[in-house]
Structure 1
Amino acid sequence: MTELIDGVTSYILMPESERPTLGQFYYYAQKHLTKEEKDLIKTSAAEQRNNKRLLISDSLKDVYGPADMVEIDACEADVSLVSELDPDQAIGRPIVYFMIDIYSRIILAVSVAFDNNSILGITNLFLNLADDKQEYCKKYGIEFNDKRLWPSGIIPKRIRVDRGSEFKSYEFDRICNEIGIEKQIVSGASGSLKGVVEQAFHQMHAKQNVHLENHGLIEKRYDSLHHKEASLTIHDYTRMVINFVLAHNQQHIETYPLTKEMIEKNVAPVPAILWEYGSKKYGMPQPIPVLEQYLYSLMTPIKAKISKRGISYKDLWYFAPNDKRLMSEMYAAGTKRMPFEVRMDMRDVSAIYYIRNSKLVKIPLNVLITGNSDYKGLTMKQYEEYYSAKKKMQAKGRIDNEKIETAVYANNESIVKSAKKNVHSRTKDIRSSREIDKQKVSYEGKISTRLESEDETSKNISADDQKENSVTEYRDYASFEEALQDFYDNN
């Protein structure tokens, strides 16, 4: 029992006759609490909603054909990789992103990188969505003949995601708005609400882990040696992911809810076949209309400035010598630094881009500015390390300059004070007096003074130094013993 005393809640033990025994309390709970209420008490609202809710529908509810709704998610793979530059150095787990179509269960795009909770991971996925999958696979030494196994170049209508930071970001909202995709966020801690993509990850791990044992497999045990046993690079693991995708897209899905029409038309529950069937039934998915515009939407807007020197961003300068329109805008800006709307692919600082007359214009780094081209081929994160180091160097330089300026000021003040007089200087015969001082200063700077200083330095050289620098005189000896005795006598 609780009681409020002076604004503070106090706990008071009830009399023994009024306190229930454990058996009485258990009986009361069993009689008056529902199973749902008991599960809520034992676990949590999130876990109850995720694992114990009533399943009165399925994932295909309100989904109308291929690319009408896709699910996106990321997971850390159960494997530790090694560096491609140093195969003896472990670098940890890769991050895998999947985009999977709800209607057909076909995997439309993948990303295998090290970007976790990052907009780069999402844009990697959207870039792969636009890629020619046959050409993409060839880069990893994998080929397939039937393009229907892995569709390319389509835009989904709706995307279902969780509450990850990258999915809730302003940048992802901007990309979805520009491409024309509706974003739907599921409740937190409810992976089952996007169970299609979650199940795909479970299947991928189940098929890969049997091969990864003793090759970097991360096991749920305290003595797991995954980092020491790591042997695959990111290239190797990407090949395994592609292998899974191609197999998944042509595998029979026993749990897929076939409709009466599908059975009548003998439509096998295979993702590639379901995609083709759904495209005929509901219409072809929306293709990417203009690839350049699509890629531009995946770039990041940056706060650049334009002036007569070019376009600048974080001390990087960009200029296109053949772009007369750009040169005209630079001339108009003059010495001012005016805002200029451009975008950058954060994977490469070598160029910035903007749209003019519905065309994508590329502006490269200005190689005529010293040191500017040194950053060509770096990612923005790599460049920012140099940029940060330069800022720290400049901050230290400003402090050092203040010390130097203080010392200079103090010395100048001392010189001026020591030269102070109580009477004014004469102003008559300035020219002739100036000529006298001019010749005096000129004579004091004569070359012979420096030659004499050099002679004095030569005289002060020690006898040993003179001996070392002197020219050795050679003479003939009658025998080796005579030469050796002469050596001992002189040394």
Structure 2
Amino acid sequence: MLYKNDVFDLDGIRMRMLEADIPGDVAWCISLDSPVAWPVCLSYRQVADLSSVTVEEVSHKEHSESCLRKLEAAWTRLEPFLNQHGANLYEPKMRSLLVAEYAQAQGCSPVTLRKDLRRFWQRGQDKFALMPDFGNSGRRQDVAAEEDPEITGGRGRKPSGGQPVFQLKPTDIRYMQQVVEDVYLKDARVTAVDTYTELVERHYRYEDGNQQLYACPAGSRPSLRQFRHFLRTHYNIEIRLRKRKGNSDFEREDRKVLGTVLADCSGVGHYYEIDATLADVYLVSREDSRKIIGKATLYLIIDRKSRLIVGFYFGLENASWNAALQAILSISEDKRALCERYGVEYHPSDWPAHQVFPQEFLADRGDMISHASDNIAQGLQVTVTNLPSKRPDWKPLVECGFRLIHNTLRPVTPAYDPPSNATRRRGKHYEKDACLTVKDFGNLVLNAIIQNNRREILDYELTPAELLAGIRPSPIELWNHGIASRAGLLTRFPEERVRFALLRKDTATVTERGVEFLDCFYSFPEAIAKKWFETARKGRFKAVVSYDPRLVDQVYVHALDGRGAPHLATLTDRSQKYAGLSFGEVRYYELLRQQVRQESEHERMQNSLDYRQKIKPVVDNAEARLKAVGKTSRSARRADTKPARHEERTLERQEQARIQKVTPAVAAPEQAQKPPVSTGSPSTQQERLEAILARMRA
């Protein structure tokens, strides 16, 4: 037995049962295989015993929004028509009249209405039977069997010039893919037009009779529009940007931003962000205002939750661990003394985070990646996190803090030189207005920091608890409100401990000259009392020291057994010449000293060689004379040593002790410069020498 909407096979034709009147032996059916089929009336007894067959129905899921819009429009148009006329629509004559009247009333085409009716009946007589067949869009199935089929299947907007539409093939797709990956994705400077030009140059040129290459005419090569479509559909925007700009630049500039910087922040004191920049202000020397000393380095340490500036450094040190050390030390530094030093009015309420250290420092891969930063983790139990390179968006508050400070300084600071002026053609020379010293600049920066900490933040996302408590969105109020619940998790350190913890540690050698460390010698009373240096004369030993690389004058020497407080050691007299210098400068001077020693060793060697070369003739002559007189025993040669020495001394006295004639003072210069005339006759002297030699031979 067949039911409504059952599909059966009638002489090889699939038919769907639309409606049946069993007592009247009437069955209205419609063919599924004919695109122009309409309901036909059959005898129910003839088809009742036929078995139903399974057909693929329209799915009710996974349709696009455009399909659903088309479905709703067709159902809204057809549903009242079906409800009003029902089975009368099966009759051909009645159907034609009703369709024409309803189409005119609805303002739609009778052809559209007939198409909707046929689709409704053939596909199961429900709402989803009117779903459009967008899935059948595309190229013909018969072209897939070709060796190099046309992918576009004859589609495409006709060009305004009248040339044919180029039909893409798999070969063209491979060409496009190759040139995109070789050219476009490897260089952000290359545009889509440049890549398309490269595509035409590689694969779409022909050679004329003179062997000249020309680009194929339009219609014989892919158009720029087709190339752009391929680029957009095969490489989404993320792939294109990551390949062309790199992952770091994409994550910094083009990534999606769905979270907030406070997502993983537990509250005030959890994260301190630290970074450095070059202040955009030219400074002058304190001794001579005419001399410009350049721009200062500015360090800021900002609490992530409250935006409070808790630490800072401004000075002439380059961005390095030495300057970062000063910024971290400023957290515990005496703020009253600091304000007095720079002439700033002091209020304790402006520094609510005095001596409070965070759970974690967030820094980039610059100064804080130094091994010296391990002292923070070991001495202060604070974690130091070095963020990936080229990711300033991971510490955005300190990056924006620099801009806020500069915005405060810009309108009131002489010689403010914005970064944009450096790349501007024929930029202005703001340095001619330079008049601030480092101390003056410190006054401006400290006042700007205090102003920033007091100023309320626009669009700050206050929590419901903060809103109910009536908290104003200024950094100081946010800190004071948040610290009430976070104080038990944070630690305060005095300045002395912080300063000592931040010093670098290394190993020195105890010698008889003092504690030798980096080419400097130190001493302290405890070492003298314990006879360290006398002991080192028998055998040197090691000691641990803490030092500041910026100044060699003093170091801390730890106890040998590691117990007790370290001892403050000062330079010995041997190293006083280096007082006031840094260890880097001492190292430079020692390298110069070593270079001088090496050059001196070479000169000494050359001097010895010159001496030997000069005396060699004299020695050779003396040895030749001795060889000429023949061999004599050692005892015979020493027998008359005393008389021979007396004779030789007599001759020496006669040559060297003779008083010469005094030259008058008015004598001419030429006469005064004449050598004295020897009074001894050469022949007489030679006779005396021969007599002495004869006695020596005897």
Q: TM-score interval w.r.t. the shorter chain?
A: 0.7 to 0.9
**TM-score using structure 1 length:** 0.81
**For residues 123-153 of structure 1, what are the alpha-carbon distances to aligned partners after superposition, in whole Å with 9 as ceiling and x for unaligned?**
1112212211121111111121224535322
The 10-residue stretch of structure 1 (12-21 or 261-270) with the greater mean CA deviation from structure 2: 12-21
The 10-residue stretch of structure 1 (175-184 or 87-96) with the greater mean CA deviation from structure 2: 175-184
Residues of 1 paired with 2:539 and 2:604: CA distance? Answer: 27
Match for 1:159: what amino acid? Answer: F
Instruction: After TM superposition, give the deviation of residue 304 of structure 1 in Å.
Output: 2.6
Residues of 1 paired with 2:504 and 2:267: CA distance? Answer: 32
**For residues 62-100 of structure 1, what are the alpha-carbon distances to aligned partners after superposition, in whole Å with 9 as ceiling and x for unaligned?**
222322110000011112222223322222221111111
Aligned to 1:244: 448
Aligned to 1:97: 299
Q: Name the CA shift for 1:215/1:253 in 2 (closer, same or farther; >3 Å).
A: closer
**For residues 151-210 of structure 1, what are the alpha-carbon distances to aligned partners after superposition, in whole Å with 9 as ceiling and x for unaligned?**
32222210111222x222222234433332212222322212110101110111111111
Aligned to 1:353: 556
Q: Name the CA shift for 1:306/1:410 in 2 (closer, same or farther; >3 Å).
A: farther
Aligned to 1:399: 602
Match of 2:252 among 50, 54, 58: 50
Matched, 1:192 2:384: no
Match for 1:340: what amino acid? Answer: A
After superposition, residues 425-444 of structure 1 pair within 5 angstroms as: 425-428=632-635, 433-436=640-643, 438-439=645-646
The 10-residue stretch of structure 1 (248-257 or 410-419) with the greater mean CA deviation from structure 2: 410-419
Match for 1:170: what amino acid? Answer: H
**For residues 405-433 of structure 1, what are the alpha-carbon distances to aligned partners after superposition, in whole Å with 9 as ceiling and x for unaligned?**
22234446555443334455544377774
Match of 1:365 among 571, 576, 589: 571
After superposition, residues 160-179 of structure 1 pair within 5 angstroms as: 160-164=362-366, 166-179=367-380
Residues of 2 paired with 1:184 and 1:145: CA distance? Answer: 33
Q: Is the 8 A contact 1:107 1:150 kept in 2?
A: no
Match of 2:411 among 204, 210, 213: 210
Percent sequence identity is 21
**RCO (CA 8 Å, sep 6+): is it higher in 1 or 2?**
1
After superposition, residues 308-387 of structure 1 pair within 5 angstroms as: 308-324=512-528, 327-334=530-537, 336-356=539-559, 357-367=563-573, 369=574, 372-387=575-590
Residues of 2 paired with 1:245 and 1:261: CA distance? Answer: 27
Matched, 1:274 2:478: yes
Q: Is the 8 A contact 1:178 1:297 kept in 2?
A: yes
Aligned to 1:29: 231
Aligned to 1:305: 509
Aligned to 1:452: 659
The 10-residue stretch of structure 1 (264-273 or 405-414) with the greater mean CA deviation from structure 2: 405-414
For residue 304 of structure 1, give the secondary structure of its aligned residue in structure 2.
Answer: strand
Aligned to 1:107: 309
Q: Is the 8 A contact 2:297 2:319 kept in 1?
A: no
Residue segments in structure 2 that go unaligned for 5+ positions in a row:
1-173, 179-198, 206-215, 672-698
Q: Name the CA shift for 1:13/1:28 in 2 (closer, same or farther; >3 Å).
A: closer
For residue 258 of structure 1, give the secondary structure of its aligned residue in structure 2.
Answer: coil
Match for 1:310: what amino acid? Answer: G
Instruction: After TM superposition, give the deviation of residue 373 of structure 1 in Å.
Output: 1.0
For residue 312 of structure 1, give the secondary structure of its aligned residue in structure 2.
Answer: strand
Residues of 2 paired with 1:373 and 1:213: CA distance? Answer: 41
Q: Name the CA shift for 1:172/1:322 in 2 (closer, same or farther; >3 Å).
A: closer
Q: Is the 8 A contact 1:306 1:339 kept in 2?
A: yes
Instruction: After TM superposition, give the deviation of residue 57 of structure 1 in Å.
Output: 2.0
The structure with the larger Rg is 2
Residues of 1 paired with 2:654 and 2:519: CA distance? Answer: 47
For residue 268 of structure 1, give the secondary structure of its aligned residue in structure 2.
Answer: coil
After superposition, residues 3-152 of structure 1 pair within 5 angstroms as: 13=203, 19-40=221-242, 43-149=245-351, 151-152=353-354
Instruction: After TM superposition, give the deviation of residue 399 of structure 1 in Å.
Output: 1.7
For residue 368 of structure 2, give the secondary structure of its aligned residue in structure 1.
Answer: coil
Q: Is the 8 A contact 1:217 1:226 kept in 2?
A: no
For residue 273 of structure 1, give the secondary structure of its aligned residue in structure 2.
Answer: helix
Q: How many positions carry a matched residue from both structures?
A: 454
Q: Name the CA shift for 1:314/1:395 in 2 (closer, same or farther; >3 Å).
A: farther
Instruction: After TM superposition, give the deviation of residue 393 of structure 1 in Å.
Output: 1.8
Q: Is the 8 A contact 2:518 2:583 kept in 1?
A: no
Residues of 2 paired with 1:42 and 1:210: CA distance? Answer: 39
Residues of 1 paired with 2:616 and 2:348: CA distance? Answer: 85
Instruction: After TM superposition, give the deviation of residue 441 of structure 1 in Å.
Output: 6.4
Q: Is the 8 A contact 2:332 2:493 kept in 1?
A: no
Match for 2:667: what amino acid? Answer: S
**TM-score using structure 2 length:** 0.59
Q: Is the 8 A contact 2:277 2:297 kept in 1?
A: yes
Instruction: After TM superposition, give the deviation of residue 451 of structure 1 in Å.
Output: 8.2
CA root-mean-square deviation: 3.3
